[in-house]
Each structure stands twice: as structure tokens, then as C-alpha cells.
């Protein structure tokens, strides 16, 4: 399985990082080795002094698809989740400045948190899901999927032009504003609506 990540999908996050608004979704991949094992803490890697949390709504693909039309995209997923795209921001900035790929800053071991999954049927509208991240009991990120530049079904259509989607693939749909540095002993808790989907300790 693969993790397909979408960057710059919320206008407020684009502004906070002073990035240019894209004309198409920004797509990058993480390997399955990036997944943080269940009940394990996140260890800040020794190659970065500025690892940021980025909370994101996740979608799990349930069947194989290629060149999926947006109107059929809803048939390709049943589960909605929440996770974190950990980013070594200092390393990412160095790579971006040289025009190099981001993988070392985004795809390192443990850089992808995947929380519990919820049935899509729990939601009246997948384009109106509230989600948030607390750091040490303070809300640091909050968003709603309505604010995505490209909605879930549009992302599935776009991504499937380039990559065959397979059972178990996970799409990270982008992060709202409020990303920030994590420190040892921080506790990160992610919520969809009012339900806790993950709790991570930083080491």
C-alpha cells in the first residue's frame, strides 16, 4: 500500500507558509515504512530541529481504480480517518530552496500517524467534516473539509490519473493552518467532530 499526500489544499495554510496557491493539487508520496506503529511514541529524528505537526483527514481506498471520474469516486472509499503528516520543516526548506524532492523531510520513518477509522456513513456530507488537533490540551489546528481547495472526490479523480489506486491505499487530504513545532513530552490528540481518533506522545 502507499500513502498519497496532498499539499497546499487549504488557503489559510498556504498563506501561513507563504507559498504560492497551486493551479493543481500538490502530490507527494510516503512509503509504508513512514507509518508510526500503533501505541508507539513519535521520536523526533536527529536530522531535524524543527519537526512540525500537520493534522489531516484521511481516506482509505477500498478497490482498485485508474482514471476514476469524480462522479464515481465515492464508490472507492468507505472509511474516513485522521492522521498527522509530520514534516521536518528545516530540512524541507533546504530541499525546496535547491529545487529538490521533499521525501527526506516528509517520508522518514514514523512521519505518518494513522488514527482510527470511521464509516463514511457516519457523516451526512464528507465535504462538511470538522476536525482538530490538540497539543497539550490546547487546540492548535482546526479545520473543516468544506474549506479544501480540492474536495475528496476531486482528489481521487486527480490522483488516479497518475497512480493506480489499490486496496488499502490512504490519501492524506491536506492540512489547515496552525502547523507548529513539536517538542519532547508533547501530547498530540486528534479529533473528528468530538471523537478522539489518535493520541501520540512525542519523545
| 40-to-29, 101, 153, 187, 202 alpha-carbon distances in Å | 22, 28, 32, 12, 9
**Mean pLDDT, range 90-119, rounded to an integer:** 97
The pLDDT value given to residue 15: 67
The string of pLDDT tens digits covering residues 145-156 is 999 999 999 999
What is the rounded distance in angstroms from the CA atom of residue 184 to the CA atom of residue 12? 27
The pLDDT value given to residue 115: 98
The pLDDT value given to residue 22: 74
The helix, strand and coil proportions of the chain, stated in percent and rounded to the nearest 5, come to 25, 40, 40
pLDDT higher than threshold 80 for residue 20: no
The pLDDT value given to residue 13: 62
Q: Which residues contact 76 (CB under 8 A, 6 or more apart)?
A: 61, 62, 63, 65, 68, 156, 165
The string of pLDDT tens digits covering residues 46-88 is 999 999 999 999 999 999 999 999 999 999 999 999 999 999 9
E strand spans, the chain: 3-7, 26-30, 51-53, 55-61, 77-85, 87-88, 112-119, 130-135, 138-144, 170-172, 180-181, 187-192, 195-201
What is the rounded distance in angstroms from the CA atom of residue 200 to the CA atom of residue 203? 10
The pLDDT value given to residue 47: 98
User: Hey, what's the cell of 130?
Assistant: 470538522
Strands 180-181 and 51-53: antiparallel
Contact 131, 82 (CB under 8 A): yes
Instruction: Please provide residue 115's backbone torsions phi and psi, each rounded to the nearest 5 degrees.
Output: -90, -165
Tell me how crowded residue 8 is: count the other CB atoms within 10 A of its CB: 18
* pTM for this model (two decimals): 0.95
Amino acid at each position: 500500500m502507499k500513502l498519497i499526500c496532498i499539499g497546499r489544499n487549504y488557503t489559510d495554510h498556504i498563506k501561513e507558509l507563504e507559498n504560492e496557491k497551486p493551479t493543481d493539487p500538490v502530490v507527494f508520496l510516503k512509503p509504508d515504512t513512514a507509518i508510526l506503529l500503533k501505541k508507539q511514541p513519535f521520536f523526533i529524528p536527529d536530522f531535524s530541529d524543527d519537526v512540525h505537526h500537520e493534522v489531516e483527514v484521511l481516506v482509505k481506498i477500498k478497490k482498485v481504480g485508474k482514471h476514476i471520474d469524480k462522479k464515481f469516486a465515492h464508490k472507492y472509499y468507505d472509511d474516513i480517518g485522521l492522521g498527522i503528516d509530520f514534516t521536518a520543516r528545516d530540512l524541507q526548506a533546504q530541499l525546496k530552496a535547491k529545487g529538490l524532492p521533499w521525501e527526506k523531510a516528509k517520508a522518514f520513518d514514523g512521519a505518518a500517524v494513522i488514527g482510527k477509522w470511521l464509516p463514511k456513513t457516519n457523516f451526512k456530507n464528507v465535504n462538511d467534516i470538522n476536525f482538530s488537533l490538540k497539543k497539550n490540551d490546547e487546540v492548535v489546528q482546526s479545520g473543516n473539509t468544506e474549506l479544501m481547495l480540492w474536495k475528496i472526490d476531486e482528489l481521487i479523480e486527480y490522483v488516479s490519473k497518475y497512480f493506480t489506486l489499490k486496496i488499502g491505499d490512504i490519501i492524506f487530504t491536506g492540512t489547515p493552518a496552525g502547523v507548529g513545532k513539536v517538542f519532547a513530552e508533547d501530547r498530540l490528540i486528534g479529533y473528528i467532530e468530538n471523537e478522539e481518533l489518535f493520541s501520540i506522545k512525542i519523545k
